[in-house]
């Protein structure tokens, strides 16, 4: 499988993702799955501007991701998949994308969310998606940087 990581991070592409994860995993591509970003040339350009040489980005709608991820996962290309929320990951898994594990790296404080870790705040919908994913056999862990220990979120 060439997708090295499925990650949820509200900030999408930023320094921690590029330096901490992409370089460490040796990926050549980050696939952002977000309908709004995929349809916004301005947002795509902002995210691409922070990428170092050797790492490229693709911006897919959820529908495109459901269609293309199986082929990417069967390819030799090293990549990782990034979404802004757990709901998107749930919809990908529900549509048949074979996700084994999800890394939650950044869900920040907002109305209706409670802090479970310094970098993860969960609302009721987030907790529901975690339970659904876990029930479907997808391991959901929080881990902000590669050097930190993973924390299971189903128990939180």
In terms of Cα–Cα distance, which of 90, 84, 78, 1 is closest to 47?
84
The domain that holds 83 is classified in CATH as 3.40.35.10
For residue 129, pLDDT beyond 80? yes
* Contact status, residue 33 vs residue 3, Cβ threshold 8 Å: no
Q: For the chain, what percent of residues have pLDDT higher than 70? A: 98
Mean pLDDT on 65-70? 97
Whether 130 has a pLDDT exceeding 80, the answer reads yes
The C-alpha angle 137, 139, 144, rounded to 5 degrees, equals 165
Share of the chain above pLDDT 90, in %: 88
Count of domains for the chain: 1
**What's the pLDDT score for residue 154?**
82
- What is the pLDDT of the chain when averaged over all its residues? 94
Asked whether the predicted pLDDT for residue 1 surpasses 80, the reply is no
Find tokens 């997708």 and name the residue.
Answer: 3
Predicted local distance difference test score (pLDDT) of residue 16: 86
How many whole angstroms separate alpha carbon 74 and alpha carbon 83? 20
Domain of 39 in residue numbering reads as 3-152
pLDDT tens, position by position, 83-124: 999 999 999 999 999 999 999 999 999 999 999 999 999 999
């Amino acid at each position: 499988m060439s997708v090295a990581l499925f990650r949820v991070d509200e900030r999408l592409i930023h320094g921690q993702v590029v330096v901490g994860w992409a370089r460490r995993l040796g990926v050549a591509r980050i696939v952002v799955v977000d309908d709004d970003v995929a349809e916004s040339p301005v947002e795509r350009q902002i995210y691409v501007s922070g990428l170092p040489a050797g790492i490229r980005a693709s911006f897919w709608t959820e529908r495109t991701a459901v269609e293309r991820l199986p082929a990417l996962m069967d390819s030799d290309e090293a990549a990782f998949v990034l979404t802004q929320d757990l709901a998107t990951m749930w919809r990908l898994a529900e549509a048949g994308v074979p996700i084994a594990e999800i890394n939650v790296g950044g869900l920040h404080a907002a109305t209706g969310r409670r802090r479970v870790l310094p970098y993860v705040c969960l609302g009721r919908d987030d907790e529901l998606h975690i339970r659904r994913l876990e029930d479907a056999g997808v391991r959901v862990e929080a881990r902000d940087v590669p050097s930190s220990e993973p924390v299971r979120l189903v128990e939180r």
